Amino acid sequence: MRKDYLQRIEEIAKKACLEHGVSLYDVEEKETTKGLVILVYINKLGGISVDDCTLVSKSMDLSLEEMDFVGSSFMLEVSSPGIERDLKFKKHYVSAINEMVKIEYDSEAERKTVIGILEEVSPETIKVRDREETMLIFFESIHKARTYFDFKMKGSGK
């Protein structure tokens, strides 16, 4: 996706979110066999409802059609980022403080994975506490990060 194209979609999404009392989490696009899909993830305290998604989608549809900058047919999907959401930007990490996270990162000569509580976010690092220790992980060493939900533990009533 061209950078200016993505920025324009984000501007439209931010405006629609502001109008409807939600925040923009992320914007992505993907090519499918049925064409271009623009994915908009929104969030708010207490969670997102279907009505929130519908309102943002309708606001964005009108703006995207008026601008006609996409250039081809597309589908717009607006949803919550989900219970397990990717952490791509520092603002995502900040919003996940005190939540369980799963981080894949490089440590010395090996790739490691840690699952624990995200305790702190600084400009250069994050602090994650697992059952055994608290570790400092540099952003530059992170390959993949997301919030984590232990479905087995929650489903067992423990």
* 10-residue stretch averages of pLDDT, the chain, 158 residues long: 75 95 92 87 90 95 73 84 91 92 93 95 96 93 94 57
Asked if residue 99 and residue 73 are part of one domain, the reply reads no
When divided into structural domains, the chain yields a total of 2
22 shares its domain with 55? yes
Q: Domain of residue 21: give its range.
A: 3-79
Whether residue 85 is contained in a domain is answered as no
Together in a domain, 42 and 109: no
pLDDT value at residue 68:
63
- Alpha carbon 40 to its chain centroid, in Å, reads 9
Q: Tell if the pTM clears 0.75, that is, is over it.
A: yes
Q: Are residues 75 and 103 part of one domain?
A: no
Q: How far is CA 27 from the centre of its chain?
A: 8
User: 104 with 53, same domain?
Assistant: no
User: What is residue 60's predicted lDDT score, i.e. its pLDDT?
Assistant: 93
Q: Are 75 and 30 in contact (CB under 8 A)?
A: no
Task: Using alpha carbons, select from 15, 35, 14, 37 the residue that is nearest to residue 26.
Answer: 14
